Every structure is written in structure tokens, then in C-alpha cells.
Structure 1
Amino acid sequence: MADSNVLKAQKYLNSMFGGHSAWVKLEEDGYTGTAVMQGIIRAFQIQNGISDATGTVGPLTISKMKSLPEIVKMNPSDPVSVNVCLIQCALFCKGYNAGGITGIFYTTGVSAVSEMQKDAGLPVTGKIDWKVWAGLLSMNWFKTVSGGNSITRLIQQQLNSEWSHIIGVGPCDGIVSRQTALSLVGALQAAEGVTTELITNLNSVNFGNATTAAFPAKLKSGQNSSYYIPFNKLVQYGLYFNGYNPGRFDGIYDDATASEVEDFQKFYGLTGIGLVTAGEVNVSTMKSLLTSKGDTGRKARACDCATVLNKQQALDLKNAGFTHVGRYLTGSVGTAHTPKYLTLTEIGYIKEAGLSVFPIYQDGGYYLEYFQRPSQGTVDAQTAVLAAERIGIPENSTIYFAVDFDCYEYQINLFIIPYFRRINLFFNSSENHRKYRVGIYAPRYVCTKISQLGLAKTSFVADMSTGFSCNLGFPIPSNWAFDQFYEYTFPSSPNFPIDKDAFSGRDEGASSFDAVPEKTKEELEEENRKALLEIARNQYIYDVLDPLGYMDKALELGISYNKEILLDTYTTGNSIVTITAEFSTEMKRISDKDYNIGISIDNSGSLTTGCQNQIIQASSDIDLGKLGNGADFSKVLSSIALSVKSGNISLGLEYVSPKQAKFSIRVSSEDLLPEDPDVEAGITVEIGFTITLNNDNDDRFDEAEFAEAALKVVAGVAVVAIICLVASTGVGALLEFLAGGGFLLLA
């Protein structure tokens, strides 16, 4: 909701600073947020002579805030202060009643600053010092927001109260943000004396060698002198942010705190490897409390690698104490495209060494765009299952699908969740012959969210990326099986890179494999070619059906060729409409009576002008009445063309009789694998719309009208069928359209 005081602030700022070359005009809409706060910061920088008015707070701006004299309660007759006006604007935008934008810091303003100081955990003085400036001229919020909780807010207030001279004035909104998570490490460095100056960029903090060396030998129950209290508090904060509540946040290390520490150590796999003493916090435990990767020097039972292991490498891993190794089902690495996938020969070495395997699928997933193609989850699921079957991965094994980038909440909701829903649809279908299970490799929060939705059985956690927003401040997922925390070069013959992974025991991996026949190189190449062709055909089918809303139905029914399958049935008073699909492993001949559109994509990934023009021509000059206009046609056809990216779309009339007519849309390609000159593979996906009129009345199709109709008009009828059914405008509307065009005679 727009706020009149925020609107006043926006108008004041535009009026006061609009003539300055560095000013960026604010939208005067009364809404607080990033833009208006950047405006206040930029105004402060202009007003106080900071040459680089960026709208962001850096060392120069903080230094200027510190150099300004404190502003205390003024008299009404005092000269107006522009800096006071800026404070009043900021107070309004943070939800505090500043009284007005008067430039006089008086009673209401003092009360507002006092309220802000209390909310932020700062000393309540009612005076404007550098911490008030830093807090108000930031993106931080000091009141509990939706989703925030009181204990997190208490921790945030205590951090500000005790460490804001080092870590700055952080938010007190009840949310464990990136800034809050990083503040714990900054506060630890301050408690150790490693850091004595204000940290102007918390992204620079690191639990490195100096922080490690300065940490006390151990923190434990009953060790509560003034020296230990600050460290104990950080232990309690870290416990809470990792899902363990010690019940107190005062720095008193009691038995309850020790019990929570012990539970944390057990769950995070820190016990049993000579690393920690149960219930006591050494530097290794502290690293796991405050960072996602923890102590990278700790032992690990599991690892993963992209190297195809030879006999010596497998034996060396076992002799080094590893029991489980993660290996890829497909793909290659590097510019030389070195294969990274698990082989039958390698499986023999792994079994001989006494190792178990947990399979990983990752042929992409390093960037958001990979997940934006609706069919990607289905294609990946099929590819992974086929690859796992070919090398004998046993029944009920978990395959880990990768989300290997730092994504945000909205991206998880829009793309990652649908991706895993598609994977699960395939895994729950008859195509998953060996009942493989879905796992996820991703940052902590992504794993947690996907698993809580029931879309992953266990998690392989990408904890090496400590800076990922989905790792910072989030507990490890409750179903974690493997926790990746350190990459190094493993000494062997030859040496090779591995990632160390903590092991929870929730997934024992595969130690025995199904028998599969040995194949020659030529047989393997032929098998790979067949698999690629099958996947390419299925992907083409999915890409046609998804824009029409029938992809899930095809998954449910399974894909078979040269056989008509029923997708849907609609009934109205006088007719029944059935929607069918038929798939062919060749490109069917396009009839002279069909309206054909050649699909072509330009270098930017958009439809070429020629393709767009054909779609426009197919949908122009067709009067849909209340159904819409040509733009509706174009939208459906364009979505199909963009989805499949190559081939042809043909629209036409299959047949017509007095009581039945069938219209079709065919999407086809004659070369599914253009990169392989040895493979000639076509495909046709035909969607049929059959309208059957009721025999009990005299309604009938006018066969003569159809025979005489222009090609484009008949094509238009086919597209109208798509519009009516896909857009849920109804069968009745379709019949009305046919009657209006003279194709349907009504009794």
C-alpha cells in the first residue's frame, strides 16, 4: 500500500536534488523499497560532498557518516538542516513517524530515532550518530517482517548491540539473511581480535587461517568467564540458525547448550572421525556452525569425481579411507570433452576395491536457462534412467540430479520445482523399469525445499559454495546423504581431482551391480546412437505436447509409435470432441491441402521473420467472434515453434462426413540429429481433433463447403480447435465458430 509520508519523501528528494547531474529521478508512487533508499543514500552523498554519488554505501560514505557531528534535539528556531531532512525521509521510508520533512530535529524526530535505536539493538540516545545514519541509510529493516521470528530478531539485536562497531548495523527483521549469516563470522573475528576495524563489506569475511588460529582451544559447559561469553553466544546463535535451540542466548554454556552441540555434531557427521569431543566446541565444530563447508581438513568417507577411475585409483581411494564414490552417468569435461561417465570396466575396478557408487546425473544445470525448457526434466530423467540401466545400476538406487548454481526463491518456484516434478513424473511411470529414486544435488535451501515437496528422497549437498545465498544461514537438509565440502588433488597414478563428501548413511549407494553384457566399441557406439535418437524423438514429442497442455498425459500413457492414443474427450449437447495423438518415426508427407509453416530460429533464439510471417498469415483475417482474434492463433503456433525449434507445422482437414470431421495439427522434422551425419531420423507428432455430431438430431457438416473452402480457412478451423480446447473456451464455442463459417448446418 502506498504511504503518503513516503510520497512526501520522494517529492522532496526530486525537488531538492533534481538539478544535480548525479541525481536519478525517483518515481513518486509512495512505495518504499530499494529505489527510494538508494535515492536517499545518493542525496546524502551529494549533500555531503562525496564525489562518487552511487546510491550505495561504501567506505567513503561510512567515513563521512563518522565525521559528521552528532545531531541532538534542536530548537524550532534553529536553521533548517538538509541532513535532518534526509534523516526524516529515511525514517518515513523505514516505517517510523518522523513528524514531517522540516529540517528541524525536534520532539517527534527524537522519538522516532529512539524507537529505531531500540528496534536495532543500539543504545537508545535519541541522537543521530554514525550508527543511526548507517542503519537508516541501508536496505535493512528493523521491525519483524512476514516470515521472521522473535528469536532470530533477538540475535540480530544482540549482534548490533555488541558488534556493530565491527560488523555495522545489520537488519533486525527476524530473517536469517546473507548479511546476518556473515555477521556471525565477522563478530567471531572481532571477539578474537583478528578484526579491529569496521568491516564495510561483509562479503569479504572468511573463516580463514587467522580466524582458525585465534580461536580458543575449546568451548564447553561451565566455561563461562567474561572472556568466553562472547564466543559462547556465537555458538548459541550458530546452533539456532542450524536448527538447534539451546534455549538461551546469553553466552552461558550450560548442559542444555552442550546437549544441542552434541546433537548438532552427530547429525552433521562430525563424530566418529576423530574430529570433535561430543558437546564441546573446538574450531572444527565452530566452522560447521558458521559456514556451510565446515572444517575442510576433516576426514570423509565419501567423495565424488569426474575421472573415470582405473584400478590403482580405485584401490588408492579405498586405502585412503573412502568407502563411497559419486560418479557421473553421462557427459564429458573440459574443452577436450574428456568422458566423465561411469564405465563397465570401471565398475569392475570399483567392486574389486570394495567401494560403493552413488550415481550423479549432470549434463547441464550450471545456469538458470537450462531449467527454463519445460521438457528438460523429462528428458534428463529418461537419459539418466537409460544410462543407469546400461551399466547395471541396481533397482531402487537413487540418482542425484544437479542444480549447480546460486538460485533465488522465485527461480526455485518458477523453474527448479517444475523441473523436479517432471523428473518425478517419469520416475513414477512405467518407463522407470528398475524403480530408481530421485535425489538432488544442490545448495542447502534448494535441497530442503525440493525434498519437503516430496520430489527428492535424499540430498547431496553442494556445501563447498559457502557464498551461495541458498547455503548462507540455512541448516543442512534433514535428508542429507552426502555433503560436498572440499576439492583437492588426490595422489594416485595418475593424480586426479576429487571432492570430499561427508557421509550420513542415508544412502548406501550401490556395491553390487546388475549383470549387463560386455559390448565392443562399435556396439557401444551403436547403442549410444540409438539412445540419443530415442531421447531426441521423445524430447521433440514433449516439446510439441507441452504448449498444448498434454505432456503429462503422454508421460502417463507412455510413448509408442504408429498407434493412436487418446488424450482427452469433451462433450457438449450435440457433439463429442476427442483429442488424440499419434507419433511416427518418419516425417509424413505434407498434403497439398495442408497449410504448412516452416519453423526456423534466429541466432538470438527467436523465430525468424519468415517463420513469424507464415504464422501471422495462417491466423490473419479469421473472424473468431467472441473467441478472440488472430493474436490467439499466433500465440499457440509460436509457442509450439519456439518449443521444438526445427521442422514444420502443418494444419489441415483429415476428413469430413455428414456427422464427423477430423482436423489435425502435424509437427514434424526430417533430421532430429543433424550433428550426426550417419543418422537419418525423422519424426511426426500428429494431434487430431475429431468432432462427432449426435445422431439424434439433424445437425451435419457441410462437406461441399469444406471442399470449396480456401486452404487458409480450413487451416484456421484446425487452429480454432486448438484455441477452443487448449484455452478452455469450450466445445460449444468451436461449434458456434463452425456454424458461423457455414461449415456446420444446424437443424
Structure 2
Amino acid sequence: MADELVLRAQRFINTTYGNGATLGISKLVENGQTSWTVMYALTRALQYEMGLSSLSNNFGAGTLAAIAEKYGKLDANTIPSANFCRIIQSALYCKGYDGGEIDGKYNSRVQAAVEKLHQNMGVSVTYPGSALWPKTVKGLFNMDAYVTVNSGSDTIRSIQQWLNGQYVLRKDFYIIPCDGHHSRDVAKSMLYAIQYELGMADGTANGVFGPGTQSGLKSHTLATGSSGVWVRLFTAGMVLNKRPVAFSSSFTSSLASAVSTFQSFMKLAVNGQADFRTWSSLLVSYGDQTRQGEACDGVTKITPARAQALKSAGYKYIGRYLYNPSTTDLPEKEIQPGELATIEEYGLRCFPIYQTWARSVDYYSPAQGVTDCMNAAYKAEEHGFKPGSRIYFAVDYDAMDEEVTSHILPYFRKVKEQMDALGSPYKIGVYGPRNACSRISEAGYAGTSFVSNMSSGFSGNLGYAMPENWAFDQIVTKWVGSGDGRIEIDNNIASGRDTGQGSFYPPPAEKLDIGFDISYWDDLLTEVETYMTSIGKPGSTGYVYTLQECLETIMSFDAAISSASRRWRMRKALIQTSAFWEFCHYSYADIAQDAGVVWYHTDLIPDWGKDLPGVSRLVDSSTGVAKISGRTCILSRNNAIRAGLIEGETMDSAADGDRWTMWQKCNQDNLFNLNTVPILHIWGADGKSGDVKEETPMRRPALDYSSGETLEILRRYQGSGDEAVAHAKLRLPLYEIFEKFNRISRGG
């Protein structure tokens, strides 16, 4: 919305300074909206009126010193010219204060506005009256707000005002915003405040969490009963880290309780006191870097000697990279052959990280999210990570909040959507600064966060609280071990939310299947149609879909089927064959049975089934793409859950409610239905526990299955008896057709 007086300020700059030429800028757009462009123009105009030789957007030390030297303070007696006053009036309007009529007079309205500005800044006691002082002029010529904005916290605003009022006279302390939001400037001001209270002189205090500051804090432990300015600073740190406490000078028992909760959350020793490690965790993202972590990550291969060194140093969880796009840089960044076996042998656990470049905003796009998810899942499967492992996708740069909105959230949305499309073989985590981790997690795109807190200067860390779902807290790079066991790692605190994986599939002796090469589509369709026609299947009439429609449906889920085949180390042709065969034979009689199941469980015949002949109430039916019943779905998934292959709660295959729940998923969710096919094959190989006719266990589906094993597992999918055997024999050549094209795609 346009503000008429801001518009007048823009016109004043344009008309007075040659449409910006005098100030070395372009003409301002006269839209009545405050912006950095307008504030920069006003800053340059102020410098021009003071006679400074070099004009700059920055209201820096030179401008500040010039005001102090030339005028001391700005009021009706010291304002040097009408235009100088108009600049002040314009800046007041851009800040939302009444600057008079932009008439060049430091009148009562301007004076009242200055008094209100100082009150809002929290410096009215230090600077009583209506004169502007150098630091408040600096605070006037920027985009900081001194009232709460965007649902800012009143408590945080009171902290900001207190810091301004307490320390504004110190040389390097400048007015910070009082908008009710934690920020980089507020975090920096807290460190200055700590240093000032430690007695550091101007010029020594620098806002850096260095050795002097750390040493001083170690002698300022607070506990119940403490009071004074140190408690003020400590409670400010708690509030700024989103802890539900009052900003107070008294250390109460309720504060001690909140401190204990924070210490537990951050995995610090729980004592309810403001000790050094608690101070550190409140003031800087990496906290006390001497803490010993249980987790680490690195770009170096874990050899037996290094595994022993890490284990001896107390490490349990090791982060390693799934992929390295470079063939020359960091040759051991990607997990190396035999490395996961070493990690397992030494009783360690591994959490996988996926990062290619990911070091600037232009890397992130929805298309890149799809690509990275596919590659990460495939690489995880190749390396041997079992289903359910969590892959951490990286945001390895200082992502600005607006970049998280514009690029990174859309990227992670696609990562999640693609992982869902693959059948959710792996969980998703995010590695990055606090803000990116929190926002991605809050959007539902990541379950846990691996926080790059070591980069304490990142704007995405400064001024942001620790993500609630943090799993790993990266705090410092260090060396561990000696001799052959010496290794450089990033030391991470572990929260216990993710413990990685401790056992892995062995490396496959044969190539895993990959996505179908679409250039062979016509050939595949021709061979499948020719074969099915030659055996007269499905035959006669009454079937719902053509052979081409069936094949198109199955192949539209190629990414998910490829992922499932890699996950379970079976040939994707086994999944394709069973699903395609069943779908080809989906008849109107099957639809009538489906309608009967709905009728049984809801007492209503669905509209799509009312005109079908032969509809009768049924508790269950073989339904969906691969014709899976609720009962067999439950039995097969129970088997996989008990074997530790998938997560979930077992269900009762004899209970109507459980069968109805699972039947609906098989009927309505093609992805779920198709992802159940390999689970059914594993159940069949394990002996079909719970089935009416259990079988003798056999080897589970494998990449090197023989024709005899393939024939038997195809037969078990359909059932028992002569018809199942006969159909299995008919399906085996179909399997060979799918396998032929899969072999071409994977290159052998």
C-alpha cells in the first residue's frame, strides 16, 4: 500500500538531487513504499549535505563520526540546513513516524516523533528529550523496526530495548531492532553485552565467542537464588532460544526447571544451573566445542584401524556420503567397497548423507529434487542400506530465509514426493543451518535434522533456535586416533532421534536393475502382446483393460518397481510379471466382487457397482493392479514386519476390520498395491505363514535366481494346484521378456 508521505519523501529526493544523479544513484521509483533503496538514497543525501567527499549506501563509522564531530547532536539549534532537516523528516516517515510536513523545520511534531523513536528503541533514559544522537540517527537510516512486526514477541522486544538502553553508550554497540524477533544483530549484541559485563574495554570487546569470553563465563555459573544483570542476560538467552521463561533478574525455581529441560534437549549435563556449557549453547550455535560427541561425519574411508580409533574415542554413529560426483576431488568421500562391512564388524552404525554440489541457491530446483532423490535412493540400495534408513539431503551453504522459501522448500517438496513415488524406501532428513532445517521439517519434508552448527556465522544459524527434531549437532572438526587409525572428522552431538543403521545388505554380486530405457518401449510392447496373444491370454471377453493399457500402467510405476527390486535384491521382472499378469486378467467379475466387498463392510453398494450382475456381499477379494486381497496383504506384510524387513504394526488377517482397512489400500492405492508384490514374493518364499496351505520355505528371491526358482515363486504367488502350476509355466516366458529389456537397460 502506498504511503502519501513516503511518496513525498521519494519526490523530495528526486527533485532536490537531480533524479539521483547528484547522489550517484538512479531516480527513485515514486511508489510510496519504504525500501532499502529509499533508505540508501536518504543516507547518501545526508552524507552529501554534510559535505562528505565519498557517498555510500552504508551508514558506517565515517558518517557516524562526522555527525558527532560536526554537530554533537541534532536538534532545532544544530540542524545545518533545511534540506538536512527534510532528510531527517523523510527518514522518520519511512520509519512510520510523523516527520512534520517535510518542510525543513525541526518543529514540535518532529521533536515528538524523535522522543517516540527513542522510547521504542529503549534509549529514552540515556537520550532524554527530542534531540537525535549519532547512534540513533544511524538507527533511523535503516530498515529495522522498533515496534513488533509480523507477530513479534513482546518479551523479545523488551530484551532488545533493554540491551539498547543498557549498552548504547559503549563504543561498538549500535542500536538493534526492537521488532520482537531474534536475529543476527540481536545474537551479536548479546555477545557484546556478555563481554561488557565481564569488564572488557571498548576495542577489546568484539562480539566474538573467543577464549576471553569463554574463560569469563566459566566463572559466572548461576543457580536458584542468583540475581542481577547476569541473570538478566541468561534469561534473555533462554527467551531468544524459545524457552518459555520470563525475562527477569531473579533465578527462580521455575527458571531452574526450564534450564533442566533445555539441558536435556541439548544433551547437556542436567543440573538446572547456568553453567558454562549451558551459556555456550545459548550464545553460539556450536556451544562448547570441547564436548565429546557420539556421532561424527567425514569424507575419509573407515578402515579397520580408523573404526577402532573412533570406537575407542566413544563414537557410535558415523555419517558417510552416498555419492561423489567428482572423479578427482575427495576420492574417499563416497562410501568405499567393504567400508560398511567394517563399520558393522566394529559395532558402529552409519547414517547416509547425500550431497553433490549444493553450495549455492541456484543448485536447488524441483527438477533437481527429483533427480537427487532417485540417485540417493539408488545409491543407498547399491551400498546396502536397508529400507527405513534416513538419508540426509544437504543444504551446505548459508541459505537466506528468502532462498529457503523460493528454492529450497520446493526442492525438498519434490524430494519427498519422489521418495513417496518410489514407495518410501528411505526416510528423509535434512543437513543444513538451523533455519533451513526447521523450515523444511515444519513443512513436513524431513523427519529429523543434521544441523551444521559448526558454521556459527551463517545467517541461518545466528538468531535461530535449535530445530526441535535435531538428530545430530555438528560442532567442530577434529582429529581422532594415531598412525593408521588417524582420521579427521566433524564431531557431532547425537540426540538419539536417529541411530543410523548397524547392519547392511552385502554388495550385490550382480548388477541391480535400474530404470527402463524408454527407447525400447515399442519393442517391449510388441513382444509382450505377441506372446500373450500366442498363448490366448487373457482370452475371451469380459476383461477390463487391453494388454497395452495394462503394460502402460505397470511401466508408469517403473521408478517404484525399480526401487523395490533394488531394495529387496530381486529382479524387477519378477514384480513386473506378477503384476502385469494379474492386471491383464482383471475382469468385470472382479469388479463385481470388489463392489460386494464394499457392500459387506459399508452396507451400501457403490454407484459403480449397482448395474453389475452377480454382486453379492463378500468379506474380501483380490483387488487392485496386482489382484491382492486384504487377507494375503496382511499375512505377507506381517511376515515382513516380523522379519524386520519393513516397519509397522502387525494386523489380524481374520479380523473383518483389519481386512477391510488393508483391502481399501490395495484397491485404491496402485503404488501400495505394486509395492506389496515383492513382499508377497518374500512371504511365498518363506513358506506363506498363516495361509490355508503353507509351503516348504525356499531361498528368498535373489538376483541370481534360477529358472526353477523363478517358476516356483511365480506359482506360489498365484496359489497351489494344477492351475497355478500351469499358469506359472505360461508366465515364465513373460518373465524372460521383461528380464531381457531390464538386462539391456542395466547393461548386463
Give the TM-score band, short-chain normalised: 0.5 to 0.7
Equivalent residue number for residue 588 of structure 1: none
Per-residue deviation, residues 472-521 of structure 1 (Å, max 9, x unmatched): 1111111111111111233333433210111001111111223444x4xx
1:503 maps to which of 484, 488, 494: 494
The 8 Å contact of residues 333 and 340 in structure 1, kept in 2 or not, is answered as no
Counterpart contact for 1:164–1:170, Cα < 8 Å: no
Aligned-partner Cα distance in 2 for 1:369–1:317: 36
Q: In the alignment, which of 364, 367, 370 is matched to residue 363 of structure 2?
A: 370
Q: Does 1:420 align with 2:412?
A: yes
Provide the C-alpha distance between the structure 2 equivalents of 1:292 and 1:214, rounded to a whole number of angstroms.
19
- d(CA) in 1 for partners of 2:376 and 2:560? 20
2:635 equivalent in structure 1: none
User: Retained in 1: the 8 A contact 2:401–2:435?
Assistant: no
Q: Cα–Cα, structure 1 residues 351 and 134, in superposed 2: closer, same or farther, change >3 Å?
A: same
Q: CA deviation at 1:344?
A: 4.5
Q: Distance in 1 between matches of 2:389 and 2:460?
A: 27
Give distance in 2, aligned partners of 1:369 and 1:535. Answer: 29
* Among candidates 433, 442, 445, match of residue 435 of structure 2: 445
Match of 2:174 in 1: 168
- Partners of 1:426 and 1:555 within 8 A in 2: no
SS in 1 for 2:477: strand
- 1:292 correspondence with 2:285: yes
Q: Distance in 2 between matches of 1:507 and 1:536?
A: 38
Q: Give the conservation status (yes or no) of the 8 Å contact 2:223–2:274.
A: no
Question: In structure 2, the residue corresponding to 1:497 is in which secondary structure?
Answer: strand
Percent pairwise identity: 33
Q: Distance in 2 between matches of 1:443 and 1:412?
A: 11
Q: State the secondary structure of the residue aligned to 2:168.
A: helix
Q: Is residue 2:8 matched to residue 1:8? A: yes
1:221 pairs with one of 220, 223, 246 = 223
Partner AA of 2:213 in structure 1: T
| Residue number in structure 1 paired with 2:244 | 245
Give distance in 1, aligned partners of 2:430 and 2:154. Answer: 32
Match of residue 470 from structure 1: 460
Q: What is residue 263 of structure 1 aligned with on the other side? A: 261
Give the root-mean-square deviation of aligned CA atoms.
3.4
* SS at 1:485 equivalent: strand
Structure 2 residue 514 is matched with structure 1 residue 512: no
Is contact 1:327–1:342 with CA below 8 Å preserved after alignment? yes
* 1:204-242 per-position Cα deviation (integer Å, ceiling 9, x unaligned): 7321112112325133234545xxx33222211111121
Equivalent position of 1:185 in the other structure: 191
Structure 1 residues 269 and 158: CA distance shift in structure 2, 3 A: same
SS in 2 for 1:360: strand
Of 37, 49, 61, the residue aligned with 1:47 is 49
| Pairs within 5 Å for 1:51-450 | 51-70=53-72, 74=76, 80-123=81-124, 124-166=128-170, 167-197=173-203, 205-215=207-217, 217-222=219-224, 224=226, 229-247=228-246, 249-271=247-269, 278-331=271-324, 335-372=328-365, 374-432=366-424, 435-450=425-440
Q: Is the 8 A contact 1:402 1:441 kept in 2?
A: yes
> Is the alpha carbon distance of 1:187 and 1:335 closer, same or farther for their aligned partners in structure 2, counting shifts above 3 Å?
farther
| Alpha-carbon contact 2:3-2:33 (below 8 Å) kept | yes
One-letter amino acid of the structure 2 residue matched with residue 478 of structure 1: E
What code does the residue aligned with 2:91 have?
A: A
Deviations 1:243-292 (A, max 9, x none): 20222x23222222222222111101112xxxxx6122223221210111
After superposition, residues 683-702 of structure 1 pair within 5 angstroms as: none
> Which SS does the other structure have where 1:165 is aligned?
coil
User: Equivalents in 2 of 1:536, 1:385: separation in Å?
Assistant: 20
1:509-548 equivalences under 5 Å are 509-517=500-508, 519=509, 527=511
Q: Over residues 382-408 of structure 1, what are the superposed CA-to-partner deviations in whole Å (9 max), with x where a residue is unaligned? A: 222222222322231111111111222
CA contact 2:95–2:143 (8 Å) conserved in 1:
no
Change (3 A) 1:83 1:450: same
Tell me, in whole angstroms, the C-alpha distance in 1 between the residues paired with 2:517 and 2:436: 27
Q: 1:553 to 1:193 in 2, by over 3 A?
A: farther
The answer (yes or no) to whether the contact 1:305–1:327 under 8 Å persists in 2 is yes
Between the aligned partners of 1:79 and 1:514, the Cα distance in structure 2 is 79
Which digits, 9 at most, give the CA deviation of each residue in 1:303-323, with x for residues without a partner? Answer: 101111111001000001111
* Cα contact 2:259–2:273 (8 A) shared by 1: yes
Q: Is the CA contact 2:217–2:279 (under 8 Å) kept in the aligned structure 1?
A: no
Worse-superposed segment, 504-513 or 24-33: 24-33
Matches within 5 A, 1:627-706: none
Runs of 4+ in 1 over 6 A off after TM superposition: 533-538, 552-563, 679-683
Letter in 2 for 1:34: W
The amino acid that maps onto 1:460 is F
Contact kept, 8 Å, 1:332 with 1:340, in 2: the verdict is no
CA distance in 2, matches of 1:95, 1:505: 48
Alignment of 1:547-696 (within 5 A): none
Q: Return the offset for 1:409.
A: 2.8
SS of the aligned residue for 2:438 comes to helix
* Structure 1 residue 461, shift from structure 2 partner: 0.9
The number of aligned residues is 533
Decide whether the 8 Å contact of 1:148 with 1:173 is kept in 2.
Answer: yes
SS in structure 1 opposite 2:32?
Answer: coil
2:156 and 2:85 map into 1 onto residues whose CA distance is 31
Q: Against the structure 1 CA distance between its residues 334 and 260, is the aligned structure 2 distance closer, same or farther, given a 3 Å change threshold?
A: farther
Partners of 2:253 and 2:24 lie apart in 1 by 57
Residue ranges of structure 1 left out of the alignment (5+ in a row): 272-276, 539-549, 567-678, 684-747
In 1, Cα distance between equivalents of 2:188 and 2:460: 13
CA distance in 1, matches of 2:217, 2:40: 38
Pick closer, same or farther for the CA change 1:370–1:55 going to 2, 3 Å: closer
Distance in 1 (alpha carbons) for counterparts of 2:155 and 2:518: 52
8 Å CA contact retained: 1:165, 1:198:
no
Quick one: structure 1 residues 100 and 537, their matched pair in 2 at CA, closer, same or farther if it must change by over 3 Å?
A: farther
Q: Kindly indicate which of the two structures has a greater share of residues assigned to strand.
A: 1
Residues 197 and 493 of structure 1: is their aligned pair in 2 closer, same or farther, counting only changes over 3 Å? closer
Residue-by-residue CA offset, 1:442-480 (whole Å, 9 max, x unaligned): 111111111122211111111111122221111111111
Q: Provide the secondary structure at the position in 2 that maps to 1:405.
A: coil
C-alpha contact (below 8 Å) 1:332/1:339 kept by paired residues: no
> Match for 1:512: what amino acid?
S
Deviation string, structure 1 residues 612-667 (Cα, Å, up to 9, x no partner): xxxxxxxxxxxxxxxxxxxxxxxxxxxxxxxxxxxxxxxxxxxxxxxxxxxxxxxx
Q: Is the 8 A contact 1:70 1:127 kept in 2?
A: no
The one-letter code sitting in structure 1 at the alignment partner of 2:24 is: W
Q: Which amino acid aligns with 2:229?
A: P
- Report if aligned partners of 1:149, 1:175 keep a CA contact under 8 Å in 2: yes
Contact 1:75 1:106 in 2 (8 A): no
Residues 345 and 62 of structure 1: CA distance in aligned 2, closer, same or farther (over 3 Å): same
Aligned partners of 1:79 and 1:104 also within 8 Å: no
After superposition, the Cα gap between the structure-2 partners of 1:12 and 1:329, relative to the gap in structure 1 and judged at 3 Å, is same
CA-CA distance at 1:133 after TM superposition: 1.0
Q: Which region of structure 1 is more displaced relative to structure 2, 438-447 or 97-106?
A: 97-106
TM-score normalised by L of structure 1? 0.66
Using a 3 Å threshold, how does the CA distance of structure 1 residues 108 and 352 change in structure 2: closer, same or farther? same
Give 1:332 shift. Answer: 6.0
Query: 1:553 offset after TM fit, Å?
Result: 7.9
In structure 1, how many angstroms separate the alpha carbons of the residues matched to 2:77 and 2:466?
55
2:110 partner letter: G
Question: Which one has the bigger helix percentage?
Answer: 2
What amino acid does structure 1 have at the position aligned with 2:475? F
